[in-house]
Amino acid sequence: MAEQREVEQAIREWFQTLERCVRQVDYQTARQTFAPDVLSFGTRADVVAGLDALVANQWSGIWPNIRDFTINLDQLNWGTSADLAWGIVTWDSTGFHRDGTSFPRPGRATVIFERRHGRWLAIHTHFSLFPGTPPSTHGATGQRG
């Protein structure tokens, strides 16, 4: 039972770290929470293999162009088996139309974790927007993301 609580706490802390990193556009700290061989797809990127590709094809095009990224940890669903775990959450953010006006940009995420050397690292992430949400965000200055 204590181990289950430790895993849940680790997953919650992982999502809290990601939230801070997205808000601060802090790729370096975020990289430390992902496995180098991560496989991902997201709101911008098709399937990408590897952390460098994830940063280049997803994070760098979205994080600077959104605001108020918030993980809804009160809705966290999670599970674990040995050295694998998963977490499912919804999230909210603010996106921007080309003219700079803002819009609600809600979504959901599934993350699969593997315990490596005592740390839970993301080995797969899937971030998607809720249906009907504009697929692009251009940042407050009109950049495309």
**Domain containing 37 — which CATH number?**
3.10.450.50
Sorted by sequence, the CB contacts under 8 Å of residue 61 that are 6+ apart come out as: 44, 45, 144, 145
Q: Is residue 140 part of a domain?
A: no
Q: For position 17, what pLDDT does the model report?
A: 99
pLDDT (tens digit per residue) in 58-111: 999 999 999 999 999 999 999 999 999 999 999 999 999 999 999 999 999 999
Q: For position 3, what pLDDT does the model report?
A: 84
Q: Are 55 and 31 in contact (CB under 8 A)?
A: yes
Q: Is residue 141 part of a domain?
A: no
Q: Are 88 and 74 in contact (CB under 8 A)?
A: no
The arithmetic mean of pLDDT across residues 4-32, rounded, is: 97
Q: Is residue 137 part of a domain?
A: no
Q: Is residue 18 part of a domain?
A: yes
Q: Is residue 102 part of a domain?
A: yes
Q: Is residue 87 part of a domain?
A: yes
pLDDT (tens digit per residue) in 29-53: 999 999 999 999 998 988 999 999 9
User: Is residue 142 pLDDT above 50, yes or no?
Assistant: no
Give the tokens for residue 35.
Answer: 């496995």
**Count of the separate structural domains present in the chain:** 1
Range of 107's domain? Answer: 2-129
Q: Is residue 90 part of a domain?
A: yes
Q: For position 143, what pLDDT does the model report?
A: 52
> Which helix H or strand E contains 55, and what residues bound it?
none
